[in-house]
């Protein structure tokens, strides 16, 4: 087997369901130390984080990934044990193959090969790993970013190993992500007998016009990189379960996926304005899951595109679709962040998998990107 495939299998065999790292980072740190990296283990609560660096000074390029995986679901539904990597018909099966132990193995091997060929490379090559990406993301990259900020670390470029490809390896990369913000709205009424509505106040009836207005609102027009901001209700809970009782309150959960044309603060203000206009008695709690980020074509995007072109012949598509990633945290201290990885078709599914023939090209894309960035610095 290739070095990348072998390492991918070693990682899959460790049942690192978030936040348990299950020894993945110790394995990777041992390899990186042997390659000349300095490794800093950051244990925060139940979460393991690894910050490994080679070289010194600027520019600083970070390879960002996570060693934790989502739960397997019913293990009897898998064709083989999710934590016993198995190759069938040229496809590697196991939890984390695509999201994202395959990418982590690929960029670690790429880093090993790069520093072996360029031991005196300019600047710093760093690897940042967490075991809290698939969980609440409280003690992982988010906190490490704050620690790096306190140290005065300045990051120039970051490549996140998220699975981004669609039909073919390298056909799509993410140069940004939308922000996410949730709200829990509780509209208060007066409970009463449904036969005497004049003695009660139905909060569901009161909330509906405001909700309809929010659902019809055009929050922004998006831009060349992002679709317009969207607002969606995810849950609504009201009533006692009885058919003859007007409820005393109704709770609505909703979420914004917002682009760089709007801010969390402006969206909050507009929602409150609608609710106040409709005269509702309410409470509203906000949770900001992540701010949007965008890396326009430039040094990093150009280097990744050149690497993909050289390795696959493809002209990759730039995209900001999909959910959130730890890129939202690293973008707070790094102006250029790009996500590059294997196919995302099977992530979080039963029988998660990656085509074996795709593993080596992913590693080569990372290695070529490192070489291209070094070439650009030398020009």
Question: Which one, of 180, 138, 156, 140, lies nearest residue 333 by Cα?
Answer: 156
List Cβ neighbours of 106 (8 Å cut-off, separation of 6 or more): 4, 8, 161, 359, 362, 363, 366
Q: Which candidate in 68, 132, 139, 352 is catalytic?
A: 68
Check if the beta carbon of residue 355 is closer than 8 Å to that of residue 343.
Answer: yes
pLDDT at 176: 97
- Residue 41 has φ and ψ, to the nearest 5°, of -90, 125
Q: Which candidate in 21, 133, 134, 326 is catalytic?
A: 133
pLDDT at 281: 98
Give me 162's structure tokens: 């998220």
- Residue 376 has φ and ψ, to the nearest 5°, of -65, -35
**Residue 358 bears catalytic tag:** no
Query: Along the 379 residues of the chain, how does pLDDT read in single tens digits?
Result: 699 999 999 999 999 999 999 999 999 999 999 999 999 999 999 999 999 999 999 999 999 999 999 999 999 999 999 999 999 999 999 999 999 999 999 999 999 999 999 999 999 999 999 999 999 999 999 999 999 999 998 899 999 999 999 999 999 999 999 999 999 999 999 999 999 999 999 999 999 999 999 999 999 999 999 999 999 999 999 999 999 999 999 999 999 999 999 999 999 999 999 999 999 999 999 999 999 999 999 999 999 999 999 999 999 999 999 889 999 999 999 999 999 999 999 999 999 999 999 999 999 999 999 999 998 887 6
pLDDT at 1: 63
CA separation for the pair 170, 343 (Å, rounded): 9
Per-residue H/E/C for the chain: CCHHHHHHHHHHCCCCECCCCCCHHHHHHHHHHHCCCEEEEEEECCEEEEEEEEECCCCEEEEEEECCECCCCCHHHCCCCCCCCEEECCEEECCCHHHHHHHHHHHHHHHHHHHHHCCCCCCEEEEEEECCCCCCCCCCHHHHHHHHHHCCCCEEEEEECCCCECCCCCCEEECEECEEEEEEEEEECECEECCCHHHCECHHHHHHHHHHHHHHCCCCCCCCCCCCCEEEEEEEEECCCCCCEECCEEEEEEEEEECCCCCHHHHHHHHHHHHHHCCCCEEEEEEEEECCEECCCCHHHHHHHHHHHHHHCCCCEEECCCCCCCHHHHCCCEEEEEECCCECCCCCCCCCEEEHHHHHHHHHHHHHHHHHHHHHHHC
CA separation for the pair 27, 48 (Å, rounded): 13
**Residue 276 bears catalytic tag:** no
CA separation for the pair 117, 131 (Å, rounded): 30
Range 296-313 burial, b when 16+ CB lie within 10 A, else e: eeebbbebbbbbbeebbe
Give me 218's structure tokens: 């055009």
pLDDT at 379: 65
pLDDT at 375: 87
List Cβ neighbours of 378 (8 Å cut-off, separation of 6 or more): none
Distances (CA, A) of 280 to 196, 211, 271: 21, 11, 12
Token look-up 């090969």 returns 113
Give me 267's structure tokens: 């969206």
CA separation for the pair 40, 98 (Å, rounded): 26
């Amino acid at each position: 087997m290739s070095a990348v495939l072998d390492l991918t299998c070693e990682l899959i065999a460790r049942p690192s369901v978030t936040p348990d790292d299950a020894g993945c980072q110790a394995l990777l740190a041992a390899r990186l130390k042997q390659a000349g990296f300095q490794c800093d283990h950051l244990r925060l609560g139940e979460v393991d984080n690894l910050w490994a660096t080679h070289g010194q000074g600027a520019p600083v390029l970070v390879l960002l990934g996570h060693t934790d995986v989502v739960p397997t679901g019913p293990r009897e539904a898998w064709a083989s044990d999710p934590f016993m990597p198995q190759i069938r018909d040229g496809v590697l099966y196991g939890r984390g193959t695509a999201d994202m132990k395959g990418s982590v193995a690929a960029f670690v091997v790429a880093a090993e090969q790069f520093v072996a060929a360029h031991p005196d490379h300019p600047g710093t090559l760093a690897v940042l790993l967490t075991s809290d990406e698939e969980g609440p993301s409280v003690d992982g990259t988010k906190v490490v970013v704050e620690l790096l900020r306190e140290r005065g670390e300045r990051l120039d470029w970051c490549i996140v190993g998220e699975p981004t490809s669609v039909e073919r390896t390298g056909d799509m990369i993410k140069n940004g992500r939308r922000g996410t913000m949730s709200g829990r709205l509780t509209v208060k009424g007066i409970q009463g007998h449904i036969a005497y509505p004049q003695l009660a106040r139905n909060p569901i009836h009161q909330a509906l016009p405001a909700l309809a207005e929010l659902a019809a609102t055009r929050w922004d027009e998006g831009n060349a990189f992002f679709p317009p901001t969207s607002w969606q209700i995810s849950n609504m809970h009201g009533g006692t379960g009885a058919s003859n009782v007007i409820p005393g309150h109704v709770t609505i959960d909703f979420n914004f996926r917002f682009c760089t044309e709007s801010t969390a603060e402006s969206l909050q203000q507009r929602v409150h304005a609608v609710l106040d206009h409709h005269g509702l008695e309410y409470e509203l709690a906000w949770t900001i899951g992540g701010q949007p980020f965008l890396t326009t074509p430039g040094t990093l995007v150009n280097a990744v595109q050149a690497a993909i072109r050289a390795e696959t012949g493809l002209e990759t598509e730039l995209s900001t679709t999909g959910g959130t990633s730890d890129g939202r945290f690293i973008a707070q201290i790094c102006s250029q962040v790009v996500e590059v990885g294997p196919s995302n078709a099977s992530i979080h599914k039963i029988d998660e998998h990656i085509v074996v023939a795709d593993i080596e090209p992913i590693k080569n894309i990372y290695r070529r990107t490192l070489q291209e960035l070094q070439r650009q610095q030398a020009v």
